[in-house]
Amino acid sequence: MTAIAYRSTRGQSPELTFDDVLLTGLAPDGGLYVPERFPRLSDETLKGLAGAPYTKAAMAVVGAFVDEAFDEASLTGMIDAAYGRFLHPAVAPLTQLGADDFMMELHHGPTLAFKDVAMQLLGQMFPARLKARGRRMTIVAATSGDTGGAAVDAMAGQPGVNICVLHPEGRISEVQRRFMTTVAADNVHNIAVKGNFDDCQALVKAMFADDDFRDAVQLGAVNSINWARIVAQTVYYVTTSLTLSRGGAPVHYCVPTGNFGDIFAGYVAKQMGAPVGHLIVATNENDILDRALRTGDYKPDGVRATQSPSMDIQVSSNFERLLYLASDEDAEAVRSMMTALKSGQGFAIPDALGQSIRGDFSSYRSDEGATGEMMARTLKDTGELIDPHTAVGLVAAAGARADGLEGPLVTLSTAHPAKFPDAVEAATGVRPTLPPRVRDLYGRKEVMLAAPNDLGTVSGLIREAFAP
């Protein structure tokens, strides 16, 4: 079969190979890359993957999207290295919470959040492909919490890659900060910026807009719009749906959602032929997606700080991929919706498109009170201590059951409770402890730079650290 080409959701950029898409962020026209078609896993392949090791499923799924730059031996090496660092051999193990209710634990990676699943694979793919192209890259990222830690861990010590993460000083949890600042590697830098997350993000955007700077440090990104991250996340929907499906019957998923990357990977698994049923978007009080799916109005509404901060977002960037695919690749329609969004007005999802989306997706919202109650109730009923993001997911799962959803239902547990100890303790009275491998986190030496919210200062620090 010929390799899959990737096209932009806005229809005005040239098609690229997987290898190019991996190292490119946004398309030049502002769109996100999607495959021209979804590779199907044959019935025989699916049968062979049921109960197979995670890495074997990853080979089948990731292997279906890459191009000839990734031969079987090199891809196997990358996948083994990426997932060998997980604390659980199943990578994404299932826990049973009720007769047909399950939780998929995605927090067994090095930084205890689901972002490790994708980032560890990028940490293998980037250096390999940069080396082949005789290039190097400086990744600059802004983080409000989990992404920075996962990226730092994945890139630490990787040849050809430098990484610098900006975080808002004093505004991320100590666990989150320590996962970034205690990694002793020459190619890692952290800058604590005197400002908030939006200031950090604005600094990164400004650096990408500066051609001189971009070339000088060979600027790159690892944000959640990277297609390779979606592909890596598709794997665990394939493995778990095959485990739980009864004779090919669909398995439903409930996904704590922010940027729509994780749940979109479930949609990809479904397109590939895995027995994935309904996909349930779980939002916290930042409920743009819940409102959009229920009313058809996609309208930003400001960001509220919640106890599930990794879902505190204003706009879900990966939703654009769904809009494009569910509208039969109507790039013009996507462009006009995104123009309206940029103007701050939002847009109305056309009826036919909304109906098509609701064929696969539904949504529920949890407020802060319900999220806390769910943490307490889950501990009482099942003995499981869960983090606030997972609790938002379980509130949505309960909503779907109350509305009559039947069949196996898997809620994604996206972070370890010890990543959010204060919120978990406030809700349950129990202070979660770190897993043994990272128990010394609070004793490790932190290294970071500090800077005012000033572009010249921050870009100067990055140049000094990494420019040849």
Ligand X SMILES: *Cc1c(COP(=O)(O)O)cnc(C)c1O
Q: Using CB under 6 A as the criterion, which residues of the chain lie in contact with ligand X when the complex forms?
A: 113-115, 146, 224, 256-262, 310-311, 389, 414-415
Q: In terms of CB distance, is 10 or 419 closer to ligand X?
A: 419
Annotated catalytic residue, options 115, 205, 342, 380:
115
DSSP secondary-structure letter at 415? B
- In the complex, what is the shortest distance from the CB of residue 135 to ligand X, in angstroms, rounded to a whole number? 28
Kindly tell me the burial class for residue 105, based on how many C-beta atoms sit within 10 Å of its own C-beta (0-12, 13-18, 19 or more): buried
d(CA 462, CA 182): 19
Q: How many CB atoms lie within 10 A of CB 44?
A: 8
- Chain centre distance of CA 174: 21
Tell me if residue 445 is catalytic. no
Question: Could you tell me which residues are beta bridge partners of residue 219?
Answer: 138
- Residue 435 DSSP SS3: coil
- In the complex, what is the shortest distance from the CB of residue 151 to ligand X, in angstroms, rounded to a whole number? 12
d(CA 263, CA 101): 18
- In the complex, what is the shortest distance from the CB of residue 123 to ligand X, in angstroms, rounded to a whole number? 17
Nearest to 141 by CA among 67, 221, 63: 221
- Which residue bears the tokens 């990426």? 82
Please, what is the angle between helix 72-83 and helix 115-132, to 10°? 140
d(CA 114, CA 120): 10
- In the complex, what is the shortest distance from the CB of residue 247 to ligand X, in angstroms, rounded to a whole number? 31
Q: In terms of CB distance, is 46 or 325 closer to ligand X?
A: 325
Residues 6+ apart with CB under 8 A from 228: 18, 21, 22, 118, 121, 122, 125
- In the complex, what is the shortest distance from the CB of residue 282 to ligand X, in angstroms, rounded to a whole number? 9
Q: In terms of CB distance, is 258 or 399 closer to ligand X?
A: 258
- In the complex, what is the shortest distance from the CB of residue 279 to ligand X, in angstroms, rounded to a whole number? 12
d(CA 154, CA 132): 19
Q: In terms of CB distance, is 243 or 390 closer to ligand X?
A: 390
Tell me the one-letter amino acid at 349: I
185, 160 contact by CB (below 8 A): no
- Residue 10 DSSP SS3: coil
Q: In terms of CB distance, is 314 or 339 closer to ligand X?
A: 314
The first and second tokens of residue 299, run together, are 């309208």
- Residue 235 DSSP SS3: helix
Q: In terms of CB distance, is 301 or 328 closer to ligand X?
A: 301
- In the complex, what is the shortest distance from the CB of residue 255 to ligand X, in angstroms, rounded to a whole number? 7
65, 33 contact by CB (below 8 A): no
* Active site amino acids: 115
